[in-house]
Structure 1
């Protein structure tokens, strides 16, 4: 029976000589829990000669949702993906390589994330099969709505993601005809124009593997001849969609590291000398001149800074020397001078080379290893005792002046510093996740004096006097370590221990405690954030006292303008009262408007929050109190309808705001997003058909 409604997802599978992996790949799409009516599978046989085409035809005979296209070999995955895009009808598109396969519930979870959060791109957790490298940082925790500036999403530019098809068509995106790097410009353009990105990290969505026959394109087309066009297009894509400035610099850094410096270091020395000097080197140099601003330069690690400097200075012979000996020179260790750490590369302070020190400065990248070994309440007082071990690579024992730093989150207050008690050095195998190595370090070659042992520390934080003799303020405090060694200072977030050498988790956190040093009931709770960072919450006991205010009404004054009204309670005379209505988006962006009180000092207040110009996202509404105390949630109400308006700055495009039906913690949360005209028309047609069905 012909399909009458579009599918939710079009799964596009490019396949070339993909036996036997293609069978499991296609079956993983056929067996998705999303439902047979919600998926179409488009498999493109790109001129296979190993029976891949016949196997796809066999699978199509048992699955009506599978459509097989046979075409002459195009030389890369981009061509067959474009064929699939031209045929796709789904609300979303998912690109599945024929080597790989999906978890059974992957598409349902990703579609739900896109629908719930109004996002255009969804990343599903990737899993390595057989040792193939996959990104991990972006999948540390679920992210309902984020962007490339607030997450690690841009570190993974493979196209194995869920894309809203209307975004692809609006941008006219197609894959260029390159054998390598063809998906990076495509994904970059989608990222930089997406109305939000979701990350599904609590389920294994995508299983990535190498083929048994070893003919993955990433392996067979790894030379520079296959990479240069795609690299050029990556740089051009960033320039096209981002204005110059810090935001572009942050994105451009990724391409300078992975598409310029990495291949130059690893691949350029393999090329024929004349071709390397006359063909590839000028292209690399031009990219460095055009795209590595000073802002990008200072974001790079020392080995990449050195390469960029030599490119800018047009020093081909020195550049090739650095590239040829990169592996050897990475193990040369560090030099400490006047509180700075420098990579001890042969060019460092060589008068004949005259390379600036900044090219070797590794101070901010010197790895810090730490382990939280204990956390407990000390005695009957309000003292939190933390203990553990820490060291800065190659810098010997920690020095006095090392301290714990409590940094306020979401409210204004000076940092609180508490000195560490240092108890000497002990051998420690750190359980924390490995950090990105600093070029020039060699853990095994470190001497006993230089870095094989850590310093044991203990710190007692008296919550009643920590803030310069005053109690630690109400709110969330992020916990940092500020470590000193050989005059070098490094500050890092204190992280959750992973597993010990026996594979067991360690350091359970103490239970929430009611603090006895306060005139009002206050609790303290130590916890780990979703990212694994240690944080301390100081909160007023939930049932001990009346709130300082009550919200009595929430309504739309006009399309796009929300009005919140309420009044103070008697408790406001003893505690900070609300001064502003605050809207906070999932990625951390904040909008505030002041509360208006009666001129006669009355207790009633009103606030008008214009939402017509906020960026799309999920915005949680709270009342900020004077002095930066705990925000007061604006309660969710089923009486508040949605609203629509037209945004003049977007050529009259319609937008909407609607309350989430089940917001986190009961806080009124509004979803703000553009109305997708095709989806709205489809829903209207569906309602019309349903109406006709009820009233023939």
Structure 2
């Protein structure tokens, strides 16, 4: 653990003590605290704490002017497998390091984010910490929203990249963390424990406050853009990452800080660099993802309209409340430049249609009558769009597997209790969903189905999850009870529907088959890839009860979303030591065509699910008849349904090469072929 410290009293004591009291144990921790030329007794306090803690090593050095210098000193001295940066203003939860190290060890990840907590009102990111994530990356999570270095890093990653902090007073940690993120072999998130407590100093001397001017930010921002361009190839993935820097490091400071500079500095020093970033890094893909205020700034920067940029920045608060105009199914921000012939700014710069909040609430979800009709009611509206012509639809959408959306019209209801002085009076809705016939006269298929609203008014359409804002945590006690809908076909038993709320309030349906006699008797104990035959899945377990006296002919069945079936026989043998029948089957997954395949055991008209046991990960093989092209199979998650689903597909050779060699190696390979 590395703790940079400069004039950090009195917060320093609690900071270091929190490191010394970690449940991981001092025998597994080295604490390196660097006194960066303090004059307030910080150095003496570190020496005092070190005398009682052999794991604490104190280094005294001349002041470097920022936190990067002492962190680099700590990196040069560190010897552990992991590095954690702890600022001297902050402190750790007692079990933080143990949980983060365990997460990295169990999942082989290079970076671990521990949940951050605000102390005294200092802002902290929250989006990345909605739930634990054992293994993810910056392209499929919100991890990139937090670029502070208060994370657990695998030290081999830092040394492989030769990462060190640049000598800046502000934004010095963002390029460091960005480079680590973009080269990491997986990222983990610990969200179920308060790991890192962030606070402001009583003296108000935090560097983020004392070095907030543009002169302290520009170098770090420039390096952020350069880091992303260095490690991520152009395309949608780079656009996703660049958007964060355009919003937070370009548009935010330009709007809030540039007008505070004197005219010469603003025009000659800072504005040209802001403009160069807009020209170099804001692609059309990034531009489309921005909010209207940011799009307007980027357009004016690209057009080199300095006076308009400054006017827009200075008037940002007044212009934010100017309202919206609905025109031909689009919603536009009524900024003074909107459709002003003298300004000639394209409408796209003001288009807010996809950015407006959608307000929904599921007020009631209950079974209606004795059959399979589920009655739903509540309200839904798009902010700033009056509901004079509502045409909202309910969408029933299959989770995880490809299936056409099922769309149902809803009945509009008048609501007098919503804000907006009558603007949203027709935002109420009610719909009866007959789950026995909803799918074109047929019941819903097995699996998890999410309910979505296509909220429409005045030709404007926005699609959002149907949700309840307040549920009982996991939805227990708030959703209607499970209900049987009858059999799907002769001999296949009953179908059960269980409505539930997700942890974030989304309303979903779990459709499953009632457990058959085979399901009650069958216990799968192993699912694994055969080490002697690539692409072959082994499923084994045992049968108990009456099934041992009449096991019958069993098969292991794979069925894809189009209804294609591939089956292999199951071999059964008596267990001499116990009253049960052992079974084993080998499914050559390599023979399956590309698609999503559900794996189950079958006997006559009965079926038992094969669960997605932890031992099954991804595998790959080569198909000789396809010119040696590699294929892979990987398990998919299907919400709350405990059944193994495998995706079979050809390996994308370009993506595989980038993962293996890294972005820099791929660019060298491309240059060598030019």
Whether these two folds match at TM > 0.5 is yes
Q: TM-score, normalised by structure 2?
A: 0.81
Pairwise mapping of residues 647-666 of structure 1 onto structure 2 (< 5 A)? none
- Which string of whole-angstrom CA distances, capped at 9 and with x for unpartnered residues, describes residues 42-73 of structure 1? 11111111111111111111111111111111
Indicate if the aligned counterparts of 1:25 and 1:102 stay in contact, CA closer than 8 A: yes
What are the within-5 Å matches in structure 2 for residues 588-627 of structure 1?
A: 606-608=587-589, 623=599
Superposition deviation, residue 527 in structure 1: 2.2
Q: Does 1:478 align with 2:450?
A: yes
Provide the secondary structure at the position in 1 that maps to 2:414. strand
Closer/same/farther in 2, CA of residues 364 and 624 from structure 1, 3 Å limit: farther
Q: Distance in 2 between matches of 1:559 and 1:320?
A: 68
Matching of residue 578 in structure 1 with residue 558 in structure 2: yes
Pairing partner for 2:224 from 220, 234, 250: 234
Partner of 1:414: 404
* Distance change in 2, residues 1:468/1:159 (3 Å): same
The aligned runs of 1:316-327 (5 Å cut-off) are 316-327=306-317
Whether the 8 Å CA contact 2:393–2:408 is kept in 1: the answer is yes
CA RMSD of aligned residues (A): 3.8
* Residue 361 (structure 2) pairs with residue 371 (structure 1): yes
- Show CA shifts across 1:49-99 (max 9, x none): 111111111111111111111111111111111111111111111111111
Shift of 1:547: 10
Change in Cα spacing, 1:56 to 1:496, as seen in structure 2 (3 Å) is farther
Residues 87 and 401 of structure 1, relative CA distance in 2, 3 Å threshold = same
Distance 1:128 1:263 in 2: 23
Query: Displacement, 1:40?
Result: 1.2
Q: What SS is found at the alignment partner of 1:97? A: coil
**Corresponding residue for residue 512 of structure 1:** 482
Equivalent runs, 1:561-572 vs 2, <5 Å:
561-565=534-538
In structure 2, the residue matched to 1:165 is 155
Contact 1:549–1:566 (Cα < 8 Å) also in 2? no
User: Alpha-carbon deviations, 1:494-517, whole Å to 9, x = none?
Assistant: 2341489xx9x9981122222236
Would you say the 8 A contact 1:551–1:564 is kept in 2?
A: no
Instruction: Tell me how far apart the structure 2 counterparts of residues 354 and 507 of structure 1 sit (CA, whole Å).
Output: 56
* Whole-Å separation in 2 of the counterparts to 1:594 and 1:518: 18
What does residue 434 of structure 2 align with? 462
User: 2:511 maps to which residue?
Assistant: 538
Q: After superposition, what is the alpha-carbon deviation per residue over 1:156-212, rounded to whole angstroms, capped at 9, x for unaligned? A: 101111111111111111110001110000110111111111111111111101110
In structure 2, stretches of 5+ residues that fail to align are 541-546, 570-583, 622-633, 635-640, 647-655, 657-674
In 1, Cα distance between the equivalents of 2:94 and 2:468?
Answer: 31
Name the residue aligned to 1:651.
Answer: none
1:206 is aligned to 2:196: yes
Rounded Cα–Cα distance in structure 1 between residues aligned with 2:123 and 2:479: 34
Question: Structure 1 residue 103 and structure 2 residue 93: aligned?
Answer: yes
Aligned to 1:259: 249
Cα pair 2:111 2:151 within 8 Å, conserved? yes
C-alpha distance in structure 1 between counterparts of 2:38 and 2:406, whole Å: 65
Tell me if structure 1 keeps the 8 A contact 2:609–2:642: no
1:39 equivalent in structure 2? 29
Alignment CA distance shift 1:13-1:532 (3 Å): farther
Distance 1:454 1:89 in 2: 65
Distance 1:621 1:114 in 2: 31
CA contact (8 A) 1:547 1:571 kept: no
Contact 1:390–1:454 (CA under 8 A) maintained in structure 2:
no
Instruction: Specify which structure has the bigger relative contact order, considering alpha-carbon pairs within 8 angstroms and separated by 6 or more residues.
Output: 1
Partner of 1:527: 500
Report the Cα distance in structure 2 between the residues aligned to 1:572 and 1:240, rounded to whole angstroms.
61
1:552–1:565 contact (8 Å) kept in structure 2: no
Measured against aligned partners, the alpha-carbon deviations of 1:377-432 in whole angstroms (never above 9, x if no partner) come to 22211112222222211222364421111111122221011222222023248xxx
What's 1:154 paired with? 144
Residues 609 and 643 of structure 1, relative CA distance in 2, 3 Å threshold: closer
CA contact (8 A) 1:546 1:571 kept: no
Q: Which moved more, 1:120-129 or 1:404-413?
A: 404-413
Tell me the CA shift for residue 33 of structure 1: 0.7
Aligned-pair CA distance for 1:493:
1.3
| Conservation of the 8 A alpha-carbon contact between 2:50 and 2:57 | yes
CA contact (8 A) 1:60 1:67 kept: yes
- Offset at residue 545 of structure 1 (A): 5.2
Q: Are 1:12 and 2:2 counterparts?
A: yes
How far has the Cα of 1:543 moved from its partner? 3.7
Counterpart-to-counterpart distance in 2, 1:280 and 1:460:
59
Q: Determine which of 309, 313, 329 is the counterpart of 2:319.
A: 329
Q: Do the aligned partners of residues 90 and 643 (structure 1) sit closer, same or farther apart at CA in structure 2, a change above 3 Å counting?
A: farther
State the partner residue of 1:385.
Answer: 375
Quick check: 2:33–2:58 contact (8 Å CA) kept in 1?
yes
Deviations 1:336-376 (A, max 9, x none): 10110001100000000000000000001111011222222
Structure 1 runs not aligned, ≥5 long: 1-10, 430-446, 582-592, 611-619, 646-656, 658-663, 674-696
Quote how far apart the aligned CAs of 1:38 are. Answer: 1.1
What do the CA deviations read for 1:650-692 (whole angstroms, capped 9, x no partner)? xxxxxxx9xxxxxx969799xxx9xxxxxxxxxxxxxxxxxxx
Instruction: Using the TM superposition, give the Cα deviation of residue 533 of structure 1 relative to its aligned residue in structure 2, in angstroms.
Output: 2.7
The verdict on how the C-alpha distance between 1:633 and 1:621 changes in structure 2, with shifts beyond 3 A counting, is: farther
State whether residues 497 and 507 of structure 1, in contact with CA within 8 Å, keep that contact through their aligned partners in structure 2.
no
Q: Distance in 2 between matches of 1:594 and 1:81?
A: 59
Is contact 1:126–1:204 with CA below 8 Å preserved after alignment?
Answer: yes
Aligned length: 593
Please list the CA deviations of residues 510-569 of structure 1 after superposition, one character each: whole Å capped at 9, or x if unmatched.
Answer: 2222223644311112223355432211111234555999989866655893421579x9
TM-superposed CA distance for 1:475, in Å, is 1.3
> Whole-Å Cα distance in 1 between the matches of residues 431 and 390 of structure 2?
13
Would the aligned equivalents of 2:471 and 2:478 in 1 still touch at CA under 8 Å?
no
Alpha-carbon distance in structure 2 between the residues aligned to 1:328 and 1:148: 35
Among 167, 177, 186, which residue is 1:187 paired with?
177
Structure 1 residues 241, 421: closer, same or farther in 2, change over 3 A? Answer: same
SS at match of 1:426: coil
